[in-house]
Homo-oligomer: A and B are copies of this chain.
Amino acid sequence: MRWHQTQLRLKPRSRGFHLVTQEIVSALPELGSFKIGMAHLFIQHTSASLAINENADPDVRGDMERWFNHAVPENARYFEHTTEGPDDMPAHIKALLAGTAVTIPIRGGRLALGTWQGIYLGEHRDQGGARTVVATLVGE
């Protein structure tokens, strides 16, 4: 039984959903030494998210962003938390809906993702900057 925990810094991205599988896997060479286990990725922010979705067609990420913008509009008349800009409160709601963390099984030294699965960073602010992720690997 072994643990590995580290803090990753994802490079800044524009508002929208982004595929970050390779950036995360590259930062975790220790993955290769686990035969079986779990990888827990936790984003330490409340206006950005981590989730699993389709890894192939960039249109999926675009449509995901368009749906979220439609479902969680800026300037809703009932928003009171408006001092940090019109993108701020929607970003908190989107982050809660999409999720703060993902847990992925490890098998044979690799993330056991399905063929079409990738890790999404949901950047929900207009200017989110670099985002910090705590990665915890446990297994044997």
List residues of A whose CB falls within 8 A of some B CB: 1, 3, 5, 36-38, 40, 42-46, 51-55, 57, 59-60, 62-64, 66-67, 70-72, 76, 78-81, 89, 92-93, 95-105, 107, 112-117, 120, 132, 134, 136, 138-140
**Oligomeric state, in copies:** 3
- Hey, which chain B residues are within 8 Å of A115, CB to CB? 44
Task: Give the docked Cα–Cα distance between A36 and B112 (Å).
Answer: 23
Task: Tell me the nearest residue of chain B to A46, going by C-beta.
Answer: B54
A55 / chain B contacts, CB cutoff of 8 Å: 46
Residues of chain B with a CB closer than 8 A to A105's CB: 5, 40, 42, 134, 136
* Cα–Cα distance between A79 and B81 once the two chains are bound (Å): 30
Shortest A97–chain B CB gap in Å is: 6
Contacts of A99 in B (CB 8 A): 99
